[in-house]
Amino acid sequence: MSDAVLLSVAALTLLVLAIELREWKPKKNKVWLIVAFALLLRLTLPQEILGIDEIHQVKIVKNLMETKFGEFSTGPWPPGLHILALPLAVLLNNSWLALKIVNIILSSLSVYLVYVLAKELKNETAGLAGAVMLAILPVHIKFAGMAFLETASVFFLLLSFILYFKKHVAFPLALSYFVFTRPENYLVALVFLVVAHKQIIKDSKNPYWIFLFLSILICAFLSVSYGPNDEYWNLSYYNATKLFIEKVKGNLFYFFNLRQFSPVVSIFAIFNLKKKKEILLPLLFLFGLYTSYHFGIFTSFESLARFSLTISVLIVCLASLFFDSKKKLALLSLVLLSFPFTLQFIQSSSPVSEALEIIKSDTKLQTTELKIYSVASSLFEMVYPDKARSGEPSHTSFILSQEDFVTNSMNPEPYLLECETLTVWNYNLSYNKHLNFYEFDCS
């Protein structure tokens, strides 16, 4: 499929959505104080480490800046976030920073969207409770300033819910752009269409349904056609049940882990599981989908994993419906009391974050806008995915040639220029310019 078609449909969807929502003007409200607090947390608290997917997203935006449409498809990623970041990337001449800024803005505004959604479904009290819970949600904070796709995906999913429950004409447009933000979102949209089929039939004359059907068809084709090129994609497909059984216990435990989530939020959500099937069924679908995926682990290396982000936000949405009266609002203090534990976890440094501080101070490593340590961490994930996810120590070494990097859509030269040996965790990554290979010593 032509990249020009993909980009054109996604960009047109965003433009028409913006036009339809031009009269939606947020009112002055105390919730903006919560949004401002959320923004402050996302600007000041440490973010997660860079990963291989971020390299892909930065590369896509760079290609768009240089209008290299033939090189756009570096994977199964649709262009939703990249289109949003493109104007800022051109202005700043820095694609990674543009993606980071856009995601921080979308993350903070998502706090407002949860408020609007809960207020629409319940009342003002529920809206404020939902905004507070999302503002301090650890996984939402940790990935706010990352160049991953999940933050934008969450934003447009929340917007889709709001427009759906408001019976707004732009609902198909919002859901369509949600599909354009993550490879698997076309499946989520199909689940949502099944759940909400009665209202969709009533609104069948809405001309914007064509955008949604186009986005689903295009992204389904993009995802399915990419599958044979990714061994882990196929590994998950053929071993879904086995992977689910292996990981379901750990992934469920994440939602009751005081350091990484708030068990109180999960308990509040349980009280409302049956109230909004439009939210519940996509949540259950995503949990099953990610838990069945090879890399779909919600925590790793005593750190958070981005696959839990969308599910966590949906749980917050359900939990917010518990607070339908000011008397119940007092129970929100239980969530606030758990925040010091999660805050300590967010601020805790790992060997990787310590390596980041060393790298930041080393001018030799500042050769590109991408941080050098992302390459080392990504190499370990690519070659030893099981050990990388379990945190098991590894006493071995391997060599990657430049050809291996190219195969993984990674051009090593800009990232390792002027660098001979780099220590990340306790692993040494060495690059020999003359022989053109990389040795990763895990000892």
Q: Are 423 and 376 in contact (CB under 8 A)?
A: no
Q: Give residues with Cβ within 8 angstroms of 29, minimum separation 6.
A: none
- Sequence-separated contacts (24+) of 344-348 with Cβ below 8 Å: 344/259, 345/138, 345/259, 345/260, 346/45, 346/46, 346/138, 346/141, 346/142, 347/45, 347/46
Taking only the tens of pLDDT, the chain with its 443 residues reads: 567 788 889 999 999 999 999 988 777 788 999 999 999 999 888 766 555 677 678 778 888 887 655 555 556 789 999 999 999 999 988 888 899 899 999 999 999 999 999 999 999 999 999 999 999 998 899 888 888 899 999 999 999 999 999 999 999 999 999 999 998 999 999 999 998 888 788 888 899 999 999 999 999 988 888 766 666 666 666 788 888 888 898 889 889 888 788 888 999 999 888 778 889 999 999 999 988 887 777 876 556 778 889 999 999 999 999 998 888 888 888 888 888 877 777 766 544 444 445 444 444 333 333 344 444 444 444 444 444 444 443 333 333 343 443 333 333 333 332 333 333 333 344 444 444 444 444 33
250-352-299 Cα angle (round to 5) = 10
The predicted model scores a pTM of: 0.81
CA angle 107, 86, 46 (to 5 degrees): 35
* Integer-rounded Cα radius of gyration of the chain: 22
What confidence score (pLDDT) does residue 32 get?
A: 94
The span from the CA of 229 to the CA of 76, in Å, is 10
**3-class DSSP state of 443:** coil
Q: Are 315 and 265 in contact (CB under 8 A)?
A: yes
User: CB neighbours of 123 closer than 8 A, spacing ≥ 6?
Assistant: 324
Q: Which residues pair with 301 in a beta bridge?
A: none
25 burial (CB, 10 Å; 0-12 / 13-18 / 19+) is: exposed
> Which residues on adjacent β-strands are paired with residue 161?
none
Q: Are 301 and 349 in contact (CB under 8 A)?
A: no
Q: What pLDDT is attached to residue 232? A: 64
Distance between CA atoms of 30 and 12, rounded to whole angstroms? Answer: 34
pLDDT at 60: 83
* The pLDDT of residue 142: 85
CB 243 within 8 A of CB 232: no
Going from the C-alpha of 266 to that of each of 147, 158, 261, 330, the distances in angstroms are: 28, 19, 9, 17
pLDDT at 109: 96
Pairing of strands 427-432, 437-442: antiparallel
pLDDT of residue 54: 73
